[in-house]
Amino acid sequence: MRHGSLLPLLLLLACAGDPQPAEPVPDLAELTSKAPEIGGLVRAAQLCGLVVSQPAQERAARIEEAALEVRRRDGGTQARDAFLRSLAPPHFDPKQRGRDRAAWCTEQGPAVRRMDGMLNSPEGTALVQRAEAARASLH
């Protein structure tokens, strides 16, 4: 083989450079593990009259929406519906006359405040971005 015939191939390889790295695959496990807790705490706050900031509510909704799409993709509408049911507060015994509900709400307060703070932090911003990337990867 002549050296002249290798030159175009070598030039092509030299100009090609490194291939562009592929977009990272979003961590769907993180999304599906954190979304139930976040969604459950938002519902607890609503039921218990606890304050969650508007930005945190919006971020929680975006995270939950992405998790719902992952669940629906992985297991259909039954998996999506099961996920939504898992976010519901517990059923309270009417015979307790609200004592069980009041105790449960008191227990939820610190977790709701931590969730609100996390969603309004750089960690929350990053989580929302990863959730949206995961959602985009499904389409």
- CB-CB neighbours of 33 under 10 Å: 11
C-alpha–C-alpha distance, residues 31 and 34, integer Å: 5
Q: What is the mean pLDDT of the chain?
A: 85
Q: Taking a C-beta distance cutoff of 8 angstroms, is the pair 53, 112 a contact?
A: no
Across residues 5-17, what is the average pLDDT?
Answer: 52
pLDDT, one tens digit per residue, over 82-127 is 999 999 999 999 999 999 999 999 999 999 999 999 999 999 999 9
- The answer, yes or no, to whether residue 33 has pLDDT greater than 50, is yes
pLDDT, one tens digit per residue, over 49-69 is 999 999 999 999 999 999 999
What's residue 17's pLDDT?
Answer: 52
Print the SS3 string covering the chain: CCHHHHHHHHHHHHHHCCCCCCCCCCCHHHHHHHHHHHHHHHHHHHHHCCCCCHHHHHHHHHHHHHHHHHHHHHHHHHHHHHHHHHCCCCCCCHHHCCHHHHHHHHHHHHHHHHHHHHHCCHHHHHHHHHHHHHHHHCC
Which pTM was predicted? Answer: 0.77
